[in-house]
Chains A and B, each alone.
Chain A
Amino acid sequence: MATILVVDDAAFMRMRMSKILSEAGYDVIQAGNGVEAVEQYRGQKPDAVLMDITMPEMDGLTALREIRAIDPQARVAMVTALGQQQVVLEAVKQGAKDFLVKPCEGERVLAAVSKLCA
């Protein structure tokens, strides 16, 4: 089964996303900010990434750029709050494949990951 990297500075959201994905059979690794996400991506080469945008130390857009520099084929979906449309558009320009709006329903998370891994 595919390995998914869940990136969010909110521990509860990492836990919730990981539960949804692991119950569907995915292997899940986690990162609490953009710096950790880039390190995890470089070391583990996950099949897909769910990336929060607003995070301390390194935000999601910067992490997306760095991950795409490591792997131009990286499959990343951005996880956004309402009102971040401009950031989403920028992320899509930078190679994000999809986006999810918080609070994410389980079915929407699984649909996005399935699409990323297809």
Chain B
Amino acid sequence: MATLTAELEGTLSRVARDGAARAGRGLTGLMGQEIAIHVPQVRLGTRADACDAVGGPETVVLGSYLSITGDISGHIVLLFPVERALACVDLMCGQPAGTTREADEIACSAIGELGNIVGSAFVNALADHAGLALHPSPPSILNDMALALVETVYAEVLSQGGDVVMIDTVFEDARGQTTGLLIVAPDPVCMPHLRELAA
């Protein structure tokens, strides 16, 4: 697995914590109940690392995708193995764990909205921290095997040898917690710019 420079890791960790706090406030306001988001680890990872973090390349995952445009372009994906995604849907709907049993329209929509809130919060935190103009797109729902999604979404980035930033993302309410993986993939041409900002 690749490693971040200490400066960039520190910068991205601060941005991720700020984004998580913003997303937690957004979710808490939307749901009318306290939902906290923690980001215990930020690291660089290969395609294989990303797949392994959600249970392996053949694990069926549910998530959402946003593109970033503006001063820096790139991609953001929030992925969960399906069973963890359904647990997150129950958390967002204020339902007992196990209520949601399949990725139906409401479940997919809830995961899309979760990705929208978390991804946008990260983008806005990065924009504020770095003094950049960044614009997240509306979310698209992802539901497929992990490898297929990672291959498809990051084909361009990975083919150019770009880095993928992986952020473990823990969602927690009074009843428990579940973990997803937030993947941030700046277009390769932007990575040096990010490193400069961190320096």
Using CB atoms and an 8 Å cutoff, list the residues of chain A in contact with chain B.
Answer: 10-13, 15-16, 20, 54, 81-83, 102-106, 108
Q: B106 and A11: CB pair below 8 A? A: yes
A12-B110, A13-B113 known; A83+B136 contact, CB < 8 A: yes
Q: How far is the CA of A90 from the CA of B30 in the complex (A)?
A: 26
Using CB atoms and an 8 Å cutoff, list the residues of chain B in contact with chain A.
Answer: 26-27, 29-32, 92-93, 105-106, 108-110, 112-113, 116-117, 120, 124, 135-136, 138
A-B residue pairs in contact (CB < 8 Å), sample of 9 = A11-B106, A13-B109, A81-B116, A82-B124, A83-B135, A83-B136, A102-B117, A103-B30, A105-B32
Q: How far is the CA of A9 from the CA of B38 in the complex (A)?
A: 29
Q: A10 and B135: CB pair below 8 A? A: no
A12-B106, A81-B138, A83-B136 known; A105+B112 contact, CB < 8 A: no
A54-B138, A83-B135 known; A106+B32 contact, CB < 8 A: yes
Contacts of B93 in A (CB 8 A): 15
Q: A103 and B29: CB pair below 8 A? A: yes
- Closest B residue to A104 using CB positions: B30
User: What's the nearest-Cβ distance from chain B to residue A33, in Å?
Assistant: 13
Q: How far is the CA of A93 from the CA of B106 in the complex (A)?
A: 34
- Closest B residue to A52 using CB positions: B138
User: What's the nearest-Cβ distance from chain B to residue A22, in Å?
Assistant: 14
- Closest B residue to A101 using CB positions: B26
- Closest A residue to B114 using CB positions: A12
A103-B29, A105-B30 known; A12+B113 contact, CB < 8 A: yes
Contacts of B136 in A (CB 8 A): 81, 83
Q: B29 and A105: CB pair below 8 A? A: yes
User: What's the nearest-Cβ distance from chain B to residue A64, in Å?
Assistant: 18
Q: How far is the CA of A116 from the CA of B132 in the complex (A)?
A: 36
- Closest A residue to B124 using CB positions: A82
Contacts of A102 in B (CB 8 A): 116-117
